[in-house]
Structure 1
């Protein structure tokens, strides 16, 4: 089941999932560790975790949880960019939920919510090493594109950028 996270009630579990996501990236391989620590240094990430309910607040953003048997197995979120663009961030499924279709279900829910919220385009990026995520986004209709925001020097080659017109 996918649902909109309720703040402040669900904040702790969303933060827990986001920290697991960061740990997953850091443990994936040495190159991913470097990129994760560039984009998500621990102190800055801690600040971001406190700001999640504001950065992804309704009505222009959303934080979603996916649960199995009443237990959270993943999360994902969107936040507004310019005009009618939104960005998907931190889509993560715990190991217990991988391979079950949970990532697809969560991603579809984020896309559907973006459409309901009046967005015309969904943007996202993922790591070049997360080929499963790339296949999922392409299956959902996302098209490859170039960067849509400023990046730290030397990081672009480690990322794949996508857009979906709604």
Structure 2
């Protein structure tokens, strides 16, 4: 059975970190030119520091860290952070190969949207890689629409990304 929970314990955060590294490995396996996004956004040392600070970056008063478990096995994660008054950003949504097709991605997204509403956010933003068409279909099916970039991506990165927003 699929369960989505807030990551709250050290074991929860360890599972999220492991999933986030698996996510990075997946992105790094994309062929050129899409691998440039991983080199830019997921440099190992900086990514390790970021993952060490999940509890602060996505603290419950301004964000969330969600963990998906399928039959008590961690299979997915997603994060929310407030980036401006009224605006939140979804980060590092990932579902392991073992859980693809289980509804874990949609369930994580809905839990993150509920968390955003609970924080009083009025708009959610996210970006994803251009080749990740299944993720794009999921976001569109939930109501996200393509938008202009909401952060200044370098010229060699911006064409490799698709930006989305959802008005809450």
Select 2:53's aligned residue among 33, 43, 51.
Answer: 51
Contact 2:63 2:115 in 1 (8 A): no
| Residue ranges of structure 1 left out of the alignment (5+ in a row) | none
Which secondary structure does the structure 2 equivalent of 1:81 belong to?
strand
- TM-score normalised per structure 2: 0.95
Q: CA deviation at 1:152?
A: 2.5
What's the counterpart of residue 142 of structure 1? 144
What's the counterpart of residue 72 of structure 2? 70
Q: CA deviation at 1:112?
A: 1.1
Q: CA deviation at 1:114?
A: 0.5
Q: CA deviation at 1:51?
A: 1.2
Contact 1:7 1:53 in 2 (8 A): no
Q: CA RMSD in A?
A: 1.0
- TM-score normalised per structure 1: 0.96
What's the counterpart of residue 87 of structure 1? 89
| Residue ranges of structure 2 left out of the alignment (5+ in a row) | none
Partner Cα separation in structure 1 for residue 35 and residue 15 of structure 2: 23
Q: Report the CA distance shift for 1:152/1:7 in structure 2 as closer, same or farther (over 3 A).
A: farther
Partner Cα separation in structure 2 for residue 32 and residue 19 of structure 1: 18
| Larger relative contact order (Cα-Cα within 8 Å, sequence gap ≥ 6) | 2
